[in-house]
Structure 1
Amino acid sequence: MSDSKGEPVLIDPAILYGHSEMDLAFTERFGGYSPSFYEAYTYYRPLGQDYEDRKELYQLFYLIVHLNLFGQGYGSSVDRVLLRFQS
């Protein structure tokens, strides 16, 4: 797409209004980016102290979506996260 000046624009069809760590957790779940990406990201948006503890919980949403779309290949990952956070 382009704007009124002919400049390219991107519309994100899966926009999320939520905690920034959720998007970051998504990048780490499915391959990740270069170390320089994470260095720049955390420079501008430092991670909370307990991010590593929350990361799998943030990834659970994406795992459930993949389970729904692509099947049982994601089932054991969903189960593992649910078992970790059960009370």
Structure 2
Amino acid sequence: MKIQILFFGITTDLVGASNLDLEITDALTVVGFKNFLKEEYPELKNINSYAIAVNESYAADELALKEGDVIAVIPPVSGG
């Protein structure tokens, strides 16, 4: 299944790209996708938490990913 991943903030620096097109052979849920990311990009383990949005909506861990999904990896945001 083909998916597009968009990285924002510090995740762009940790991964070395702002977006990726990936072919994933296994069906994944959001939590499975997070585990996949940590295996492929160990630098992401340095972030305590990050949100996942699928097709511009924040996604629950149990959401199943589908062909053509656009997944955003959104790190914690702080500001003043």
- With the length of structure 2 as denominator, give the TM-score of the two structures: 0.28
Q: Greater share of strand residues, 1 or 2?
A: 2
What TM-score, normalized by structure 1, do the two folds share? 0.27
Compare relative contact order (CA 8 Å, sep 6+) and give the higher one, 1 or 2. Answer: 2
Greater helix share, structure number = 1
